Structure 1
Amino acid sequence: MTPPLVGVSGRRRGAAGAHDGPAALDVLQVEVYFTGYADRLAEAGALPVHLPARADPGEVMSRMDALVLTGGSDVDPALYGQEALPSVRVDRARDDRELALLAAALERDVPVLAICRGMQLLAVHLGGTLVQHLESHPLGRDDTHEVRFAAGSVVHGIYGGSYRVNSLHHQAVAEPGAGLVCVGHAPDGVVEAVELPGRDVVGVQWHPEQLRHADPVFAWLTRVAMVKSSR
């Protein structure tokens, strides 16, 4: 069966440190995301596709079978009507690009996996708000904590009643926004998973692409994307 096409968002940054050429190339820009996103998708049987910043969101999402919104910098608090705290670092151009991709995906009923920042962007897109800074939530690639999932949710079907996840975020969903349901929580109450009932749209606050084992959410996304590609 033909692998489904899964678009992967990223960010633009200066080229310094990201090339092997002369220093004169440092003034250019590159588009990047951590390789784990594409690696885990490929391992699950999907064909990951980089979505460049200049690509038209509607045209892109009319060709994709699914979308992955990746992690990264904080979502601009101005998008949910707040002033930014000193600890917040934003990339508003990226926010605007990915909000347009997300809107196009939702309009076309394209499956979405929103990871970390992506989950927060999903909530903001639907009118929600964020906790701008968490003081004590565990941080670090190798730190793990338990997440418990609501019975009957999509993520409960993917993971069962609980799952141990990594934690690299200092922000979290506060109000989820219109229609978005919080279906996974850490022991301290932080929202760790959301979904849109009746839609193939899931957000997770951890980084499944960085876990040392295969997180089953990529198999889920590949499966629902394959259904879309066969329509």
Structure 2
Amino acid sequence: MPPVVGITAYAEQARWGEAWDLPATLLPRHYADSVAATGAVPLLLPPVAGVTGALGRLDGLLLAGGGDIDPGRYGAPTGTHTAGVQAGRDTAEVDLLAGALARGLPVLGVCRGMQLLNVCRGGTLNQHLPDVVGHTGHRQRTGIFDTHPVTVAEHSRTARVLGRTMLDVPTYHHQSVADLGRNVAATAWAEDGTIEAIEYTDVFNVLGVQWHPEMGTDPALFTWLTERAAEGAT
């Protein structure tokens, strides 16, 4: 049987068909397609109470992108530009991560997901990156995934997974990791010093990237997640 990878989903108002405009559980399809393309079965995890009940049927976890994390979770007041905070999603994903770690499941965090990996270890975030770096290069155009170069630390787990230390990545974010949490190491950086990837140093199967690999052409991160999930499923 192929491994099952749970992907955290959004709770949003959505429109479809000719008549429907309703609250929905949704996820950009690129996430599920990227997981399926590597041989795993993608399973969407809605941000609802009790979603951790699915953990016993999962072999891996993908923390997807989305709105901002509540700054109260890292002891900060809410900034002017912080948006899309959903307490229910924060709680569901924090609980899913804790459960996945307790079960030894591999975890990949993407964009918001990487930030959650850091916050759950006591780390903090920059709430509006342009205020820190002085430009909008990480989110240049609304609704468009532009690219920028990233340098990956040699000999890091991230570099081994990607198979290289220099790459251009699809990006769309306005927040970033500030202070690193406990046993969290930065492993990739943009030219302006923004942290672009992290690893847990005390847990082998946890990686996070600030960019959006599902919007690119390199399947390496999803292949890694599926391979690790398959090892646990056997």
The verdict on a shared fold, with TM-score over 0.5 as the criterion, is yes
Counterpart secondary structure, 2:61 = strand
Counterpart secondary structure, 2:158 = helix
Amino acid across the alignment from 2:193: G
Q: Is the 8 A contact 2:184 2:198 kept in 1?
A: yes
1:21 offset after TM fit, Å?
A: 5.3
2:190 to 162, 186, 191: 186
Pairs within 5 Å for 1:37-116: 37-54=31-48, 56-89=50-83, 90-116=85-111
> Is 1:177 matched with 2:186?
no
Amino acid across the alignment from 2:200: L
Q: Is the 8 A contact 2:6 2:62 kept in 1?
A: yes
Sequence identity percentage: 39
Q: Which runs of 5+ in 2 are unaligned?
A: none
Runs of 4+ residues deviating >6 angstroms: none
TM-score normalized with structure 1 length: 0.91
1:163 offset after TM fit, Å?
A: 1.5
1:214 offset after TM fit, Å?
A: 3.1
Deviates more, 1:190-199 or 1:117-126: 190-199
TM-score normalized with structure 2 length: 0.90
Amino acid across the alignment from 2:13: G
Q: How far apart are the structure 1 equivalents of 2:96 and 2:52? A: 7
Q: Is the 8 A contact 1:40 1:214 kept in 2?
A: no
1:85 offset after TM fit, Å?
A: 1.1
2:206 paired residue number: 201
1:10 paired residue number: 9
Aligned residues: 223
Q: Which runs of 5+ in 1 are unaligned?
A: none
Q: Is the 8 A contact 2:150 2:166 kept in 1?
A: yes
Q: How far apart are the structure 2 equivalents of 1:108 and 1:57? A: 15
Counterpart secondary structure, 1:206 = coil
Q: How far apart are the structure 2 equivalents of 1:13 and 1:143? A: 24
Pairs within 5 Å for 1:120-199: 120-135=115-130, 136-138=135-137, 139-140=139-140, 141-159=144-162, 160-197=164-201, 198-199=203-204
Q: How far apart are the structure 2 equivalents of 1:199 and 1:214? A: 22
Q: Is the 8 A contact 2:11 2:26 kept in 1?
A: yes
1:148 offset after TM fit, Å?
A: 1.2
Q: How far apart are the structure 2 equivalents of 1:158 and 1:56? A: 33
The alignment's C-alpha RMSD in Å is 1.5
